[in-house]
Chain A
């Protein structure tokens, strides 16, 4: 057992964290103006575009965990970059046994994709009967992307959006749209694509949870009430300990699920559902605790905790709502115990 990060993975984490720390365009900026690309956007799309892309899809065979480490670091600082959405789109397209090699311009970041999976009115990823099978919702940066990677019941494909209807996102630093698509041309089997894409979102959620915990802990170490810093009160400290526990659980689940997917383990599906559910719960919980620890300032627009909550809510809703993934994990767990899936064929890669 060598369940430790490789030196390369530590380096990726450190490099992206440094990029994120130096970024001038913040999530907050989108509250008062239109979304604009952070300076690190192009660098991330270009230099880190091959992370986690299998060789069959034109990558260099790096591990999915390499990508997740980078995305986690962006989540911690709420960097409003298109990179995670682009990376999720790439992962969606490269999960099959014989994926089409991705165009160089996609892998080099010259053509920015976004990821369209959720069906309007549905709670999972393109899983149910949609009123219109060619509409997707919760598509991030649709107006700022050059193309869309789409999941449908028969597989995945790349398209240009036929129509983009902007929706009012609770997190303006992640603009969300409904996207209308033309009938797909060539569709390839999704394989583990939807799982891989969901893990990109799970990793960003783990980062958001960590960022919220760090911000809350900093407040708890410095804010004084009744003559003491508030972190010395168990009522405050224990909330943050619970958030740290939930975040650790979610990150461990996410890393393991990525390994399980990469190595084709039979339990990969249920692990992905568990990771996405746990990551959403951890991030929302941490952000809510962060607001509480900030007291009166925490409920104002002026403080930052609500930014973490906004991002957590949006990510929890994307690529299958957290509650849906939790239900799926339960169904698969019960199904495994009785020897057959109670609802066969419900997951994209089943």
Chain B
């Protein structure tokens, strides 16, 4: 077992690092910014990625990409995260929509949709989740009915990141109400002109998610991806790309959360306290386990394996370490973090509150444990 980069990986990592260092020179620390400023820099960053040819890293060259494997994309994301780069405003387009369209789209769809992503002209969002469906994605009720030349869609979506900036949507809708719930679903590449988008204010004051309402929205036949009724299979492709592209970001975010709490404790003069050291030791174990587990997952993928249910253990560990580090940080603040006018206190509380989402988004903690129980431990289904 060898955890070192191969020569090719190392060369790529250096190339990426050199470019990132230059491209990030004027970009401020995102952690210190207000939300609208962060969104501004996400847009700037997206433009720079497209201009620099870093969009579509793992897309085939025939589609204008760089033809690298998913590990290369993960390395790029890792190096960017280590440097505190903004999150690109069209991450969904570059890392989810593009690869899914390449995997399942017709020539016509590929020609129509892919260049706009690479040029930074079209932004995408992921219309999977629905109010009421929660973790049970396949229970979605948004319905598409046949009309002349296409489909008429009615329903609502929720938790849609970046919908307020997007013009295209990876949309799941039920096209056969009588089929078993995983079968009657169709995947659309829907234009969002007729969607109503409403931002949701989160418990930390940010508005990163949206609700979307579809009232008699027309989607043409040419925007069905992967065939009518085949939407669940296509959606699994998107979810697999999501896991792969995030793999090496997770550990970086975990380590940064631990770094911040250590820096704070040092500044407060409490870093040599025994209980604090014990906690940091435990946080270090979990954060490193996320990093090493991600490397093993990517190594297995490159060797031809498929990421297994163990990825649920990684997601779970990551969520815990980030939540625990952010909780500890507010606890070190004046009055346990409840006075937001202290230096940096509001930002720490914002991060702590944001981290509560980590055991909910991307599959709740309970779903991850059920996956482990059923697919790793071979226990019977409990639902």
Contacts and interface: CB of A to CB of B under 8 A. Distances in A.
Interface of A: 1-6, 9, 63, 65, 213, 217, 220-221, 228-229, 231-234, 236-238, 240-242, 244-245, 248-250, 252-253, 255-256, 259-260, 263, 270-271, 273-274, 277-278, 323, 325-331, 333-334, 337-338, 342
Contacts of B263: 337
B149 interface: no
B271 to A, nearest CB: 5
B292 A252 contact: yes
Interface stretch (B43-51, B131-139, B230-238, B282-290): B282-290
B278 A274 contact: no
A78 to B, nearest CB: 20
Contact of B293 (A63, A236, A240, A249): A249
A237 to B, nearest CB: 4
20 contacts: A1-B298, A1-B299, A2-B299, A220-B377, A234-B366, A238-B373, A240-B372, A241-B373, A244-B372, A244-B377, A252-B292, A252-B296, A327-B274, A327-B277, A328-B281, A329-B281, A330-B280, A330-B282, A333-B283, A333-B284
Interface stretch (B4-12, B80-88, B169-177): B4-12
B310 A277 contact: no
A248 to B, nearest CB: 5
Contact of B258 (A240, A242, A331, A333): A333
A237 B369 contact: yes
A234 B372 CA distance: 12
Contacts of B380: 221, 228-229, 231-232
A255 B289 contact: no
Interface in B290-313: 292-293, 295-296, 298-300, 302-303, 310, 313
B3 A259 contact: yes
Given A238-B369, A241-B372, A5 B1 contact: yes
Given A217-B377, A231-B380, A245-B313, A1 B302 contact: yes
B381 interface: yes
B302 A333 contact: no
A241 B281 contact: no
Nearest to B299: A3
A5 B303 CA distance: 11
Contacts, number: 178
B1 A9 contact: yes
Given A244-B313, A334-B266, A252 B9 contact: no
Interface centre among B258, B300, B372 (most CB of A within 10 A): B372
Which 10 interchain pairs have the tightest Cβ spacing? Answer: A330-B281, A3-B299, A249-B289, A330-B277, A231-B379, A237-B373, A329-B281, A326-B281, A241-B369, A241-B372
A253 B288 contact: yes
A217 B271 CA distance: 41
Given A2-B2, A329-B284, A253 B259 contact: no
Given A3-B296, A329-B285, 10 more contacts: A232-B381, A234-B382, A237-B379, A252-B296, A256-B295, A259-B2, A270-B284, A325-B281, A330-B279, A337-B262
Contacts of A245: 313, 316-317, 372
B360 to A, nearest CB: 16
Contacts of B293: 248-249, 252
Given A263-B4, A274-B284, A4 B317 contact: no
A231 B317 CA distance: 22
A4 B303 contact: yes
Given A330-B277, A333-B258, A338 B6 contact: no
Contacts of A228: 380
A237 B377 contact: yes
A110 to B, nearest CB: 30
B178 interface: no
A232 B373 CA distance: 9
A232 B382 contact: yes
Given A271-B288, A278-B285, A333-B280, A249 B317 contact: yes
A334 B265 contact: yes
Contacts of A323: 278
Contacts of B265: 334
Contacts of A273: 281
B367 to A, nearest CB: 11
Given A2-B299, A263-B4, A334 B370 contact: no
Contacts of B280: 329-330, 333-334
B245 to A, nearest CB: 16
Nearest to B316: A245
B376 interface: yes
B278 A327 contact: yes
A238 B376 CA distance: 12
Contacts of A327: 274, 277-278, 281
Nearest to A333: B284
